[in-house]
């Protein structure tokens, strides 16, 4: 088998996410915690290792659980792509809300800061022989109850009473308290049933999470705005101010959606769905073909001319079959290229390549790294005679071998390509100090 075309081994365990294709799919944060447990390392150590592996700047007070792994911001795509690259598991962005990033404003989806969970769900996991895990739906601050059990989500351990014990620790095993170690599936007698509105919200977001696993195309802002415009026309005769009053927002907010570049928050989209008799999924996907008006309206509607909307650039549809073929062609280039260069040539983010064409992208990466290693060996071989002579001359002058002394004696084009120059100089000096070695490397 051609090693270039083989599937490179993953650097981290290729764990499969739980609950795929359902409204109870695992969150990326839970997946990350299970990955740390699988490697018997702390979540902090794993997060720092991944950040350094992908050359992200890590501050001294870096705290992994403050990253919004499951949201729609830059952090979510960065960490989902990094984990896909290291585990060889494709599509880990489906463990986040990223599929909806074009139809929910960037600051419009709040992720809980104090990890919440449903004890009954964790108890079911254990009873059915599954490994307990945290659901993606629990990451949304809009969800306060369990859609399946109807009980309130909690952030407290029923055994020790500590709050925020789901993931705020260095070592986290999903399903067990990070403070006292007790199982979090022990339900509290105080847990009661919740109001219908909260359960409706939980069901809507659960449906959204389930649908995003099988989306054929990414939801677009244009379809969302067209759906909102249709609702305004059907329910409020095209009057955006009346529609704003209907859903309880300022009329300037609705105007910003329709005439500007604004996008509704998740909370606003839930209000629209609730007041207009549509589901959240229908609204965000822009598919109102099955929608019916919640009540008949006999008022006559005048056909008034509508202002021509400002043209917006059409969203680019990516043909991943064609992109896969082009990536395969890159594998056959005489001179390897990096994943970043491949993304530049295809006008696609490298992170998306890891998420949608995982194996071929990692083959490109391995080929590039092997090429860099070969080049470095060539540079060292080329520089070795110069470094040997420089060391001999420096010793003859009674000086210590330092980077500055070597740079004064070796041409800059010879030194520039070398990485880890000090380690190479140690090897050169060790070779020269062998009793049976001569300056030319001959015995």
Question: Using one digit for the tens of pLDDT, what is the confidence trace for 369-388?
Answer: 999 999 999 999 999 999 99
Structural domains of the chain in order of their starting residue, each with its CATH number: 1-210 (no CATH), 220-285 (1.10.260.40), 320-432 (no CATH)
Least confident of 80-89, 300-309, 350-359: 300-309
Binning pLDDT at 50, 70 and 90, where does residue 215 land?
confident
pLDDT at 3 over 50: no
Question: How far is residue 152's CA from residue 146's CA, in Å, rounded to a whole number?
Answer: 6
264-278 tens-digit pLDDT: 999 999 999 998 888
Binning pLDDT at 50, 70 and 90, where does residue 410 land?
very high
Q: Cβ-count burial of 433 within 10 angstroms (0-12 exposed, 13-18 middle, 19+ buried)?
A: exposed
Considering only residues 190 and 223, tell me which one the structure prediction assigns the higher pLDDT: 223
- Tokens of residue 169, six digits: 């620790």
Non-local CB neighbours of 92 within 8 Å, separated by 6+ positions: 17, 28, 31, 80, 81, 83, 84, 355
* pLDDT attached to residue 283: 92
* pLDDT attached to residue 271: 92
92-135 tens-digit pLDDT: 999 999 999 999 988 888 888 788 999 999 999 999 999 999 99
Considering only residues 52 and 436, tell me which one the structure prediction assigns the higher pLDDT: 52
Question: How far is residue 268's CA from residue 141's CA, in Å, rounded to a whole number?
Answer: 14
| Helical residues (DSSP H) of 317-357, grouped into ranges | 320-331, 339-346, 350-356
- Tokens of residue 43, six digits: 């979540």
Q: Would you call 145 helix, strand, or coil by DSSP?
A: strand
Output b/e per residue, 382-418; b: 16+ Cβ within 10 A: ebbebbbebbeebeeeeeebeeebbeeebeeebbeeb
Binning pLDDT at 50, 70 and 90, where does residue 443 land?
very low
Considering only residues 261 and 443, tell me which one the structure prediction assigns the higher pLDDT: 261
Least confident of 50-59, 96-105, 254-263, 329-338: 50-59
Contact assessment for residue 81 and residue 365, using Cβ atoms and an 8 Å cutoff: no
- Tokens of residue 46, six digits: 């794993």
Question: How far is residue 310's CA from residue 256's CA, in Å, rounded to a whole number?
Answer: 13
Question: How far is residue 93's CA from residue 71's CA, in Å, rounded to a whole number?
Answer: 10
Of 326, 375, 379, 378, the closest CA to residue 348 belongs to: 326
* pLDDT attached to residue 242: 92
Least confident of 66-70, 175-179, 350-354: 66-70
Mean pLDDT of 316-325: 87
Non-local CB neighbours of 65 within 8 Å, separated by 6+ positions: 29, 43, 115, 167, 168
pLDDT at 333 over 60: yes
pLDDT at 33 over 60: yes
The label of the residue with tokens 């409204």 reads: 23
Binning pLDDT at 50, 70 and 90, where does residue 334 land?
very high
285-302 tens-digit pLDDT: 999 888 888 765 555 555
Binning pLDDT at 50, 70 and 90, where does residue 6 land?
low
pTM score over 0.85: no
* Bridge partner residues of 117 (DSSP): 154
Question: How far is residue 421's CA from residue 425's CA, in Å, rounded to a whole number?
Answer: 6
Mean pLDDT of 173-179: 89
Across the chain, mean pLDDT equals: 85
Contact assessment for residue 25 and residue 213, using Cβ atoms and an 8 Å cutoff: yes
- Tokens of residue 172, six digits: 């986290």
- Tokens of residue 203, six digits: 């069901």
Question: How far is residue 417's CA from residue 314's CA, in Å, rounded to a whole number?
Answer: 44
Contact assessment for residue 219 and residue 285, using Cβ atoms and an 8 Å cutoff: yes
* pLDDT attached to residue 190: 44
- DSSP designation for 188: -
Mean pLDDT of 318-328: 91
- The secondary structure element, H or E, covering residue 427 is helix 421-432
Contact assessment for residue 19 and residue 135, using Cβ atoms and an 8 Å cutoff: yes
Maximum separation of any 2 CA atoms in the chain, in Å: 104
CA dist 362 → 13, 129, 333, 337 (Å) = 15, 34, 16, 12
Instruction: Work out the number of other CB atoms within 10 angstroms of the CB of residue 146.
Output: 26
Question: How far is residue 195's CA from residue 205's CA, in Å, rounded to a whole number?
Answer: 16
C-alpha 175: how far from chain center: 22
Q: Phi/psi of residue 273, each to 5°?
A: -60, -45
Q: Would you call 193 helix, strand, or coil by DSSP?
A: strand
Long-range contacts of 193-196 (CB under 8 A, 24+ apart): 193/150, 193/151, 194/144, 194/145, 194/150, 194/151, 194/152
Q: What is the per-residue DSSP string for 400-420?
A: ---HHHHHTTS-HHHHTT-SS
């Amino acid at each position: 088998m051609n090693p270039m075309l083989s599937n490179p081994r993953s650097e981290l365990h290729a764990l499969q996410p739980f609950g795929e294709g359902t409204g109870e799919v695992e969150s990326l944060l839970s997946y990350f915690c299970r990955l740390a447990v699988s490697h018997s390392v702390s979540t902090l150590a794993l997060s720092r290792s991944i950040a350094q592996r992908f050359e992200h700047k890590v501050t001294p007070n870096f705290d992994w659980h403050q990253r919004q792994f499951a949201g729609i911001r830059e952090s979510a795509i960065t960490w989902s792509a990094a984990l896909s690259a290291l585990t060889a598991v494709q599509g880990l962005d489906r463990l986040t809300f990223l599929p909806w990033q074009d139809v929910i404003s960037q600051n419009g989806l709040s992720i809980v800061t104090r990890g919440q969970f449903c004890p009954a769900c964790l108890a079911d996991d254990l009873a059915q022989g599954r490994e307990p895990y945290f659901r993606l739906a629990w990451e949304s601050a809009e969800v306060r109850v369990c859609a399946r059990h109807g009980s309130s989500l909690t952030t407290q351990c029923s055994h020790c009473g500590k709050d925020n014990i789901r993931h705020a620790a260095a070592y986290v095993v999903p399903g067990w308290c990070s403070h006292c170690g007790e199982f979090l599936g022990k339900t509290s007698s105080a847990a009661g049933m919740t109001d219908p509105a909260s359960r409706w919200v939980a069901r809507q977001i659960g449906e959204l999470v389930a649908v995003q696993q099988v989306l054929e195309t990414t939801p677009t802002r244009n379809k969302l705005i067209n759906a909102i415009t249709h609702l305004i026309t059907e329910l409020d005769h095209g009057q955006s101010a009346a529609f704003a009053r209907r859903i309880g927002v300022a009329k300037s907010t609705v105007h910003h959606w329709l005439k500007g570049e604004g996008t509704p928050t998740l909370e606003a989209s839930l209000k629209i769905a609730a007041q207009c008799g549509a589901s959240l999924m229908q609204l965000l996907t822009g598919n109102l073909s099955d929608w019916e008006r919640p009540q008949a309206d006999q008022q006559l509607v005048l056909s008034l001319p509508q202002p021509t909307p400002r043209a917006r650039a059409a969203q680019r549809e990516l043909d991943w079959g064609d992109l896969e073929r082009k990536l395969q062609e890159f594998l056959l280039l005489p001179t390897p290229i990096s994943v970043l260069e491949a993304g530049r040539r295809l006008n696609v983010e490298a992170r998306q390549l890891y998420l949608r064409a995982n194996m071929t992208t990692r083959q490109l990466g391995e080929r590039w790294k092997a090429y860099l290693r070969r080049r470095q060996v060539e540079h060292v071989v080329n520089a070795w005679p110069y470094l040997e002579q420089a060391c001999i001359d420096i010793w003859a002058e009674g000086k210590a071998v330092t980077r500055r002394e070597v740079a004064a004696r070796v041409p800059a084009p010879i030194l520039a390509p070398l990485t880890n120059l000090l380690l190479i100089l140690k090897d050169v000096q060790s070779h020269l100090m062998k009793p049976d070695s001569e300056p030319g490397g001959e015995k």
